[in-house]
Amino acid sequence: MQETASHSIRKSRKIPLFILYTATFVFICLLTYSLPWLAGRTLIWNVDGIAQHFPILAQFQRILQGTAHQSLFGWSWNLGAGADQLTTFAFYIVGGPFSYLIALFPADKLELGYQVLILLRLYCAGLAFLAWANQRSFSRHSKLIGTLIYTFSGYNFYVSMHHPFFLLPMIIFPLLAMGVEKVLHKQNWLPLALATALALISNFYFAYMLALGTFVYLLTRYLHYRHVSPEKLPNTKIIYCVIQAVITGLLMAGITLFPTLLAVLNSTRIAYHAKFANGLLLYPAKYYFSLPNQLITSTTIKDYWLVLNFCGLAFLAAIYVLKHFKANRALAIILLVILVSILLPQVSATANALSTPSNRWLFLAVLPMSLAVMIFVDQLPHLTRSDLKCLIGSTVALIALVWITKGFTLNVQQNDLIAYGFLIGFLL
């Protein structure tokens, strides 16, 4: 029996990790995204999805297939009171490489194509994270689990059903992180330049947030390497590579970036924008009361785009990283910064292009949380009694906070109870 088990383990190790990820991805999608189809529904949201995303994709398909009788670079009187099609389409689909695949679907299969592209974006988000994780020294099973945590995070589930093109930043952020690693290790700026160009072409709004996240990643990784082996860091060459990557990325993206920025800067949304952070010093009380129950459940409040919804394993991993602060200093600091940032509308407004305090930047938090999961999974065989006491105490504290913020009751949805059941199951 032992020989058979060891043989099967060796055989599974020969299977490429991306194939294991692909098989697991298909299985999870069958368990989740197939439910709307079985109920006779689609993945097209009945608000912005049917009013904005689906119609603009339909028009884009007609342009690509040559049935619209007009060019993407022309003027259309069918857009509001008349508008330039390039700058109108740029925010949603022109810069998204997946949008062009809609040309492969017949016009009567547009609805199917829309939904297939959602799953394809989601799949590629996991592939991008897996490529980044493969550059780190984690075990195969921790990389697979971390990739699944990243792919099927609450943020990804939410935006895939509401704003599918919001999945693009989840693909690009690991690519930017890989570019940073190339700069720091080999002083090769080209991967970072290509990822920068893709970010700027796909969506300038998220490119701003990605720039903030990439800067934090670059700073923390640079300080880490400087602490470990400062003699191996050619500072001047690193600065040159970063500047070269940014300038090259800007020039490559200029054909769509600059016309779109000019159009946006002259739009009514910019001319008559609201006060910075909507004039808030703090969020409303209900925002803070909703936080504890949103950490590991699927419940989401729509106000201020507070989409957390990490699973129980990610919660335990974050607690473990914070407990072992010295061993995981950079990651622990980032997790604390994320926690504080969620509490302050000024931070969210700054991350949201200096406007309203929307937490759309939270997609940046998924990568460090998934990194914490990989660290935690690899350390499971080495957990001490002190670690277990801390994890159990944190779980009890979380449930107590939910009880308090729910008015001293545990009146939560059934799916939330299942999430807490999984959390306790992980502990057991």
Closest to 43 in 3D by CA, of 125, 135, 121, 104: 121
Structure tokens at 180: 């940073």
Q: Which residues contact 343 (CB under 8 A, 6 or more apart)?
A: 282, 283, 288
How does 34-67 read in b/e, with b if 16+ C-beta sit within 10 Å?
eeeeeeeebbbbeeebeeebbebbbbbbbbbeee
The string of DSSP letters for 51-96 reads IIIHHHHHHHHHHHHT-SSS-TTSEETTSTT-EEHHHHHIIIIIT-
CA atoms within 13 A on the CB side of 412: 26
Please give the distance of CA 129 from its chain centroid, rounded to a whole number: 10
What single-letter amino acid sits at 307? V
Residue 237 CA, chain-centre distance (Å), reads 30
**DSSP-derived 3-state class of residue 132:** helix
| pTM check: above 0.75 | yes
Q: Give the model confidence (pLDDT) of 127-144 as tens digits.
A: 999 999 999 999 999 999
Angstrom distance (rounded) from CA 207 to CA 72: 23
Tens of pLDDT, residue by residue over 156-215, are 999 998 999 999 999 999 999 999 999 999 899 999 999 999 999 998 899 999 999 999
Report the 10 Å Cβ neighbour count for 27: 10
Average pLDDT over residues 413-420: 88
State how far the Cα of 115 lies from the Cα of 108, in Å rounded to an integer. 14
DSSP structural state of residue 306: B
Distance separating alpha carbons of residues 187 and 360, to the nearest angstrom: 32
Give the model confidence (pLDDT) of 66-114 as tens digits.
Answer: 887 777 777 877 777 777 888 878 877 888 899 999 999 999 999 999 9
How sure is the predictor about 255, in pLDDT bands with cuts at 50, 70 and 90?
confident
